[in-house]
C-alpha cells in the first residue's frame, strides 16, 4: 500500500516536484502529502520550495486561473471571495475532540470520529482536475528558538500566494531538520467553483485536530478560513505553548521611541475595532508585527517575535490622513493583494473610508456594481465590502522595525490591553505588577459592540486577553499560563490598560484621535522609570504635569487640567459593576477559573470601596495624590 501511494505521488508530482519532496529526507512529509494526494485526487502536484521561481510560478498561476487579476499599479492584484464567504466562519470552525475532552462552554467542538468522517467525505476527490500546491513555511523567524515548521496543502493559488506574502518561507528549514521535523499540517480545498468562487459554502467546514496538529478547511476561499498559517495555526500553537511553558498571543509588536534614541518594545492585545492596528502604526514609531506574537522566557527576559512577516488587514477607513504609511504602500509599486474592494475600468481599487470620491460604477464581489445597487433583500450593496482586506509584506512599510526578523525577538518593556469601554476604565493605567495586570486587566477585557458591526450598540462582550475566539485550551489554564510566564523572570514587562472610547455623560468622547500617542509615550517613559504616577485602587495613572508636557511634544497641542480631570476621574460605581460582571462570568462559565483571579478582583473591590467611603463615587485624581 505504501509503495502504491509513493508511485501515485511520483506520477502526480513529476520528477522535479517529487525530487523536492525526497530531498527533505523526512518520511513524515512524504507520507502526509501522499495520503492527501491519494484522497483528494488532484490532476497534478506542485511543490513550493524557497526558490524565487517557485514564488513566481504561484503568482502567475493565480492570474492564469482567474483567482487574481492584475491592477494598474505594478505588482498589485485583486481577488473576490463569494458573496457569502467574506469573513471567518465562526459557526463552522470547530475542534475535533474525543468524548472525554472539553475545552469550555464558549469553545466549539465536534466529536472527533464523526467530524473526521465528515471532513474526509468532503475532501474525497475534491481536487479532481485541479493542481495541488504543497508549501513549506516557518512560523516565527528562521533559525530561532521561536521557529515552528508548517506544511500547507491547497488547491488555491490565491491562498498559496497570500501565504507567500504573509508567512516566512520554510522549505530550507524542513531540509535542515530532516527526520527531526515536528510540523503543523494544513489541508485546504476551495471545492467546486462557480464563476470563480466557492459554490458549496453550505458545506464550508474548518475543523481542527489538536492531537494531530492538523487543520482541515474546505469549501471556502476567504483567507481567514483558508490561510492556515494565521489564526488556524495560532490555535495549534496555543496548545503547544501551554505544554512547553511559553505563550501564543493575539498581539501586535512595536517599537516605541523614547528620549536619546531609546527604543522600548511593547506588545498589545485589543479586540476587533478597538484601535489595535492604529496603535501599532502610529507615526514616528516602528512596527514589528500587527497580529500574532510568540512570547518566551529567554535568559531571564520575556522576549517576543512576530509569527508572520505580512499583514492581512481590514482596509476600511485606511486613508491618507489617518493611515498614511499603509495608504502609501497600497498606492506604490510592490506586491499587494486587494480582496473584495471595488475595481474601476481603469483597474484602480476603491474601498470604504478611503477619503476619495466613490466611483459611479465598477466591479466588486457582487459583480457589476453601480451606485444604488441592491441585493435580493433590498439592502444597498456598498461599493466595497465592510470586511474588505489588503495583504502586504511588512517590509513594504517605511516604518518596519529593523528587528522585525531578529531570531531572538525583542525584549518586551510593556504589554498593553485595550477594549471599547464608554464609562469605566480611564484612558491609560499601569498595573501594580504582572499578576495584577493579567488578572484585573487582561482577563477582564470587555468590548462594547457598535451598531455598525452587530446591529445593537453598547452590548459588552467579554474577550479574555482579546484571544477568546482562538483558544484551544481551557480558559483557566490559559490564565495560569500567563501568570506563570511573568513569574518565571525577576523583572517582567510592565502591564498597562488603555481605553480610547471613554465618554462623558453627554455621550461625547473624552479622548481625541491622537491622544493614544500620548498615552503610549507615557507608558514608554514609565517603563524606563522617567516619570512618577498617582496610585489609584485600580492601578497607576499619569500626573497632569507629565501629560501636559507630552501633549505639547507629541501632538503639538495644549492639554487643559479640566480635560485631565474628566479623563482620569475614578468612576467607582462603574468599576465595581465591572468587577461583579467579570466575577459572574468566571463563576458561571469557567469551571477551572483560578482562585488567584477571584482574589485579585475581590481585593480590587475592597480598595475601591475604601476610597468610596472616604471620597464618594467619583474621585478626582488630585484627591489621591
Question: How many distinct structural domains can be found in the chain?
Answer: 3
Q: pLDDT band at residue 450, thresholds of 50, 70 and 90?
A: low
- For range 512-520, the mean pLDDT: 94
Q: What local confidence, expressed as pLDDT, does residue 334 receive?
A: 96
Per-residue model confidence as pLDDT tens digits over 340-396: 999 999 999 999 999 999 999 999 999 999 999 998 889 999 999 999 999 999 999
Beta bridge pairs of residue 172: none
Beta bridge pairs of residue 429: 497
- For range 448-463, the mean pLDDT: 68
Question: Element (H or E) spanning 443, and its range?
Answer: none
Q: Show which residues are catalytic.
A: 274
Q: Is residue 70 part of a domain?
A: no
Q: What local confidence, expressed as pLDDT, does residue 454 receive?
A: 38
Share of the chain above pLDDT 90, in %: 89
Point out the domain boundary residue: 245, 262, 285. 245
For residue 398, how many other CB atoms are within 10 A of its CB? 10
> How far, in Å, CA of 259 to CA of 550, rounded?
12
Same domain, 143 and 278: no
Same domain, 559 and 413: yes
Same domain, 519 and 452: yes
- For range 489-493, the mean pLDDT: 97
Q: pLDDT band at residue 451, thresholds of 50, 70 and 90?
A: very low
Contact 221, 156 (CB under 8 A): yes
Domain span holding position 454: 248-309+403-624
- For range 103-113, the mean pLDDT: 85
Q: What local confidence, expressed as pLDDT, does residue 103 receive?
A: 80
Same domain, 345 and 479: no
Q: pLDDT band at residue 453, thresholds of 50, 70 and 90?
A: very low
More confident site: 311 or 180: 311
> How far, in Å, CA of 352 to CA of 387, rounded?
10
> How far, in Å, CA of 355 to CA of 126, rounded?
43
Residue 535, classified by CB atoms within 10 Å of its CB into exposed (0-12), middle (13-18) or buried (19+), is middle
Contact 170, 307 (CB under 8 A): no
Per-residue model confidence as pLDDT tens digits over 20-43: 999 999 999 999 999 999 999 999
Same domain, 454 and 381: no
Residue 208, classed as helix, strand or coil, is strand
> How far, in Å, CA of 275 to CA of 447, rounded?
12
Same domain, 529 and 606: yes
Q: pLDDT band at residue 456, thresholds of 50, 70 and 90?
A: low
Q: What local confidence, expressed as pLDDT, does residue 298 receive?
A: 97
Same domain, 448 and 566: yes
Amino acid at each position: 500500500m505504501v509503495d502504491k501511494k509513493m508511485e501515485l505521488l511520483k506520477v502526480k508530482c513529476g520528477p522535479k516536484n517529487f525530487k523536492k519532496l525526497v530531498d527533505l529526507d523526512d518520511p513524515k512529509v512524504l507520507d502526509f502529502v501522499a495520503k492527501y494526494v491519494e484522497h483528494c485526487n488532484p490532476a497534478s502536484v506542485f511543490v513550493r520550495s524557497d526558490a524565487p521561481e517557485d514564488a513566481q510560478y504561484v503568482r502567475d498561476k493565480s492570474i492564469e486561473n482567474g483567482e487574481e487579476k492584475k491592477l494598474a499599479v505594478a505588482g498589485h492584484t485583486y481577488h473576490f471571495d463569494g458573496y457569502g464567504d467574506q469573513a471567518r466562519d465562526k459557526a463552522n470552525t470547530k475542534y475535533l475532540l474525543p468524548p472525554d475532552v472539553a475545552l469550555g462552554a464558549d469553545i466549539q467542538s465536534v466529536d472527533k470520529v464523526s467530524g473526521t468522517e465528515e471532513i474526509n467525505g468532503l475532501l474525497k476527490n475534491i481536487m479532481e482536475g485541479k493542481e495541488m500546491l504543497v508549501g513549506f513555511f516557518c512560523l516565527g523567524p528562521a533559525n530561532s528558538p521561536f521557529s515552528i515548521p508548517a506544511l500547507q496543502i491547497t488547491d488555491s493559488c490565491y491562498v498559496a500566494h497570500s501565504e507567500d506574502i504573509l508567512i516566512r518561507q520554510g522549505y530550507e528549514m524542513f531540509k535542515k531538520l530532516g527526520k527531526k521535523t515536528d510540523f503543523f499540517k494544513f489541508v485546504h480545498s476551495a471545492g467546486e467553483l462557480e464563476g470563480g468562487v466557492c459554490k458549496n459554502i453550505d458545506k464550508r467546514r474548518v475543523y481542527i485536530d489538536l492531537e494531530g496538529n492538523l487543520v482541515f478547511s474546505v469549501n471556502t476561499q476567504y483567507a481567514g478560513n483558508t490561510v492556515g498559517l494565521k489564526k488556524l495555526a495560532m490555535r495549534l500553537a496555543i496548545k503547544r505553548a501551554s505544554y512547553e511553558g511559553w505563550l501564543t498571543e493575539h498581539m501586535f509588536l512595536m517599537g516605541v521611541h523614547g528620549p536619546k534614541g531609546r527604543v522600548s518594545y511593547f506588545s498589545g492585545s485589543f479586540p476587533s475595532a478597538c484601535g489595535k492596528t492604529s496603535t501599532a502604526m502610529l507615526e514616528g514609531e516602528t512596527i514589528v508585527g500587527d497580529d500574532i506574537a510568540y512570547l518566551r522566557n529567554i535568559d531571564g527576559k520575556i522576549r517576543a517575535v512576530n509569527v508572520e512577516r505580512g499583514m492581512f488587514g481590514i482596509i476600511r477607513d485606511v486613508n491618507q490622513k489617518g493611515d498614511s504609511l499603509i495608504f502609501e504602500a497600497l498606492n506604490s509599486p510592490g506586491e499587494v493583494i486587494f480582496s473584495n474592494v471595488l475595481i474601476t475600468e481603469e483597474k484602480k481599487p476603491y474601498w470604504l473610508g478611503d477619503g476619495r470620491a466613490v466611483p459611479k460604477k465598477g466591479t466588486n464581489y457582487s459583480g457589476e456594481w453601480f451606485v444604488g445597487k441592491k441585493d435580493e433583500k433590498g439592502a444597498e450593496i456598498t461599493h466595497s465590502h465592510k470586511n474588505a482586506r489588503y495583504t502586504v509584506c511588512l517590509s513594504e512599510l517605511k516604518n518596519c522595525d529593523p528587528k522585525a526578523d531578529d531570531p531572538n525577538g525583542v525584549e518586551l518593556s510593556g504589554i498593553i490591553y485595550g477594549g471599547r469601554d464608554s464609562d469605566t476604565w480611564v484612558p491609560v493605567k499601569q498595573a501594580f505588577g504582572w499578576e495584577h495586570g493579567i488578572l484585573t486587566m487582561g482577563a477582564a477585557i470587555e468590548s462594547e459592540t457598535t451598531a455598525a458591526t452587530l446591529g445593537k450598540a453598547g452590548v459588552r462582550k467579554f474577550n479574555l486577553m482579546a484571544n477568546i475566539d482562538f483558544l484551544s485550551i481551557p480558559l483557566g489554564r490559559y490564565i495560569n499560563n500567563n501568570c506563570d510566564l511573568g513569574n518565571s523572570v525577576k523583572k517582567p514587562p510592565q502591564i498597562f490598560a488603555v481605553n480610547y472610547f471613554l465618554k462623558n455623560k453627554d455621550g461625547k468622547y473624552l479622548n481625541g484621535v491622537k491622544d493614544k500617542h500620548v498615552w503610549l509615550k507615557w507608558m514608554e517613559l514609565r517603563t524606563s522609570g522617567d516619570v512618577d504616577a498617582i496610585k489609584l485602587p485600580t492601578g497607576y495613572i499619569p500626573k497632569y504635569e507629565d501629560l501636559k508636557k507630552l501633549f505639547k511634544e507629541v501632538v503639538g497641542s495644549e492639554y487643559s487640567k479640566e480635560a485631565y480631570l474628566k479623563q482620569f476621574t475614578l468612576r467607582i460605581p462603574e468599576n465595581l459593576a465591572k468587577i461583579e460582571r467579570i466575577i459572574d462570568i468566571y463563576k458561571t462559565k469557567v469551571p477551572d477559573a483560578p482562585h488567584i483571579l477571584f482574589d485579585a478582583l475581590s481585593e480590587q473591590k475592597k480598595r475601591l470601596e475604601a476610597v468610596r467611603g472616604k471620597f464618594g463615587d467619583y474621585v478626582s485624581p488630585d484627591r489621591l495624590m
